[in-house]
Structure 1
Amino acid sequence: MDRDVDRKILNAALEVVSKEKISGTRMHIIAKEANMSQANLHYHFSTKNDIMVALLESIQEEFSRGRGNYIDSKSKSLDENIKGFFEQKKDDILINKKMEYAQIDYWVQSTVNEEMRDIFKKTFNIWRENIKEVLPENSDENLPYIMVSLMIGASLQYLIDEGKFSLDDYFKVAGEMMLNQCEKKEALKKVQSSVK
């Protein structure tokens, strides 16, 4: 496989999905967007599903890879890392809208496509594990799920009605909520250990 050609095809596929959604995406439209013949496109990806799965994996990998620019469990504080997760999501919503829209469309498709569902399961698990790594030990096991929900909820709400609320304010409150939960758990742990 030629990585440059594959990248060109996946970029074209993202453009098409952002305009047509997955249900309206066709191989000939992707080929036209990639400025190649449909036969050449089929040489690299046999089916639309093959392209769609590869694009989803590419999007999810890019989100995960980008996370390293925002968080560092070894050198940043809990507060900095929580803000980092939310800052990345804010930047993705504002800067990578095509990928955000595509990810939402993929989530819908994953309700009927097991291969896409498995990719989401895997990447959600990675996302939650990354969050667990920065949270204090013995944090409530629901916090990573809640934090992911806060981020996806911001994306869904903001993209459907841009400007209705401030992402900065939203994520500031979300960060305070997460920190408060972590601090409550730590305080409770100290009380319980002093009683023993």
Structure 2
Amino acid sequence: MKTGLSTTLDPNRRSSDARDFDSTLRRKIVGQDQALEKVVEIYQMFLAGLNPPGRPVGNLLFLGPTGSGKTRVVEAMAESLFGDARACIKIDCAEFQHSHEIAKLIGSPPGYLGHRETHPLLTQEALNQWHTDKLKLSILLFDEIEKASDSLWQLLLGILDKATLTLGDNRRVDLSQCIIIMTSNLGAAEMTGLVDGGIG
């Protein structure tokens, strides 16, 4: 049953882990208060077990001109949670502008030329590599999403809605423990006049 009410948590009653995450992020990132507030809220919802079942932990779209800190926020999230800015999977959408290039992401179906040589980027092992006993969470970044091919967009629709992905060899990947972030420069010139230095 839908009530029309959104679930929000009181920022003054966050867990110590969420407060630590918040303060660490704010030491690393300046001038992105709204983006950081949303990131920490999603993390607190995850810790409290309130994220929606069968969906990613959170889906975020960071809009802004080059140099506004979109990717840096994602790196700071990885540093704060796992101690390493590389503790996220980054998909450069500029590398997937043609439909056939989706094979680099999910692998080629059996029988296709080069099937065995094509190792998909988005495997369960890749997503889980930074998991710990205490924190089973993954960060997945789709950078410059406006450059993605139609095939990648179709793939994304399934990921964002159902938190599942089927690889070329029919293995299923579970993305229900993922925070998914997409970045875009689209409309950057217009946003610059509306937002003073922040991510949209």
Does TM, scored on the shorter chain, surpass 0.5? Answer: no
- TM-score with structure 2 length normalisation? 0.27
Q: Which has the higher contact order (CA 8 A, sep 6+)?
A: 2
Greater fraction strand:
2
Query: Greater CA radius of gyration, 1 or 2?
Result: 1
- TM-score with structure 1 length normalisation? 0.28
